[in-house]
């Protein structure tokens, strides 16, 4: 039986403090399940241009807290915290404090990091992927220990914690852990350890570009789904909830010109774009049908759109949420 649909909005910026609060409330009022930020820090400049990544003006932790205070039922999360940017015990305490203030509405996303220009700009060493993923693996274990009763006793290669209990403890059971990434090792780890697995491109280039976008095509996405399933099977557990960012969402009556234009930028046909797992192009009624098809094909039931589509995409949310 298919999981019910859930929808989230990802947002990076706001024009004013009140505009941020108003956006969070609108996300909730329109029936979305969650509001997500990302975990990026550098502002406009040549280093950001190198990454080809949009600028995030808000720091995720305080913005999540304000969004939680402005709402009453909305899940609040970061898609996803880069483990290299945070001291493990400090990050978990911050996250669990948000969970406490929000009455148990945290979704706790974790990832291995990838944006090379940002690492360089902030003076954070960018270690090889294997080392970063090993740190992510240790971080997941540490987070689970800190969110459980009793003293932690962790002595790893990267994380050492002992002789204290994590506080505050979860309000309503352990918050769901979301693991995000696009590589085989990260997605297999997600299948083994996560409650939610968030699919990203293959970002081994360290920037957003055609190679990464191409790694999100249908065939490659099927491989990624299998890696998650393999990880879950090896751990003897159910397949986690599967989430994908529809980074390129266009709610339009005539999808062909948009699909052709977008495809030309990334070497894709219009037909490829129409079925591209990270894109949604067409009128709301067609997107409803397409998402149902994709759930049957991929098992993906959790979809994130950017805040520019907050209202245009709302009819899809109204028809599919919880179904």
Per-residue pLDDT of 292-323, as tens digits, reads: 999 999 999 999 999 999 999 999 999 999 89
Judged against a pLDDT cut of 80, whether residue 121 lies above it is answered with yes
Q: Which H or E element spans position 175?
A: none
Q: What pLDDT band is residue 266 in, cutting at 50, 70 and 90?
A: confident
Q: What pLDDT band is residue 47 in, cutting at 50, 70 and 90?
A: very high
Spell 189-207 as b/e; 16+ CB within 10 A means b: bbbbbbebbbbbbbbeebb
Tokens 């915290």 belong to residue: 81
pLDDT score for 168: 97
Closest CA to 268 of 217, 305, 220, 208: 217
Judged against a pLDDT cut of 80, whether residue 1 lies above it is answered with no
Tokens 């956006």 belong to residue: 23
- Is residue 178 within 8 A of residue 197, CB to CB? The reply is yes
What six digits make up the tokens of 55? 């600028």
- Structural domains in the chain plus CATH codes: 6-320 (3.20.20.30)
Q: What pLDDT band is residue 254 in, cutting at 50, 70 and 90?
A: very high
Closest CA to 76 of 25, 19, 127: 25
Dihedral, CA atoms, 192, 198, 202, 206, nearest 10 degrees? -110
311 vs 150: CA distance, rounded Å: 45
Span 180-199, average pLDDT: 96
Query: Crossing angle of helices 88-102/60-70, nearest 10°?
Result: 10
pLDDT score for 173: 87
Per-residue pLDDT tens over the stretch 94-113: 999 999 999 999 999 999 99
Tokens 């999540």 belong to residue: 64
């Amino acid at each position: 039986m298919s999981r019910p649909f859930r929808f989230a909005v990802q947002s990076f910026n706001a024009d004013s403090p009140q505009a941020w609060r108003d956006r969070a409330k609108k996300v909730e009022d329109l029936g979305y399940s969650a509001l997500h930020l990302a975990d990026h820090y550098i502002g406009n400049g040549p280093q950001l241009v190198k990454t080809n990544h949009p600028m995030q003006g808000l720091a995720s932790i305080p913005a999540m807290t304000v969004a939680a205070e402005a709402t009453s039922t909305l899940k609040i999360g970061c898609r996803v915290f880069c483990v290299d940017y945070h001291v493990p015990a400090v990050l978990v305490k911050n996250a669990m404090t948000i969970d406490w203030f929000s009455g148990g509405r945290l979704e706790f996303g974790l990832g291995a990091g990838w944006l090379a220009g940002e690492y360089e700009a902030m003076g954070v060493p960018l270690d090889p992927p294997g080392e970063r993923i090993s740190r992510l693996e240790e971080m997941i274990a540490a987070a689970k220990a800190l969110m459980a009763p009793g003293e932690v006793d962790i002595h790893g290669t990267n994380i050492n914690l002992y002789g204290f209990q994590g506080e505050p403890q979860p309000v309503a059971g352990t918050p769901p852990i979301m693991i995000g990434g696009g590589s085989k090792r990260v997605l297999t780890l997600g299948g083994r350890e996560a409650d939610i697995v968030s699919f990203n491109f293959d970002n081994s280039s360290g920037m957003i570009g055609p190679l990464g976008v191409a790694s999100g095509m249908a065939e490659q996405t099927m491989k990624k789904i299998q890696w998650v399933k393999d990880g879950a099977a090896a751990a003897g557990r159910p397949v986690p909830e599967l989430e994908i960012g529809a980074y390129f969402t266009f709610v339009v009556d005539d999808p062909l010109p948009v699909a052709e234009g977008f495809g030309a930028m990334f070497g894709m046909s219009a037909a490829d774009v129409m079925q591209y797992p990270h894109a949604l192009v067409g009128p709301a009624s067609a997107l409803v049908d397409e998402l149902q098809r994709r759930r049957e094909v991929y098992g993906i039931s959790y979809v994130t759109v950017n805040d520019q589509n907050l209202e245009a995409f709302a009819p899809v949310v109204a028809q599919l949420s919880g179904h």
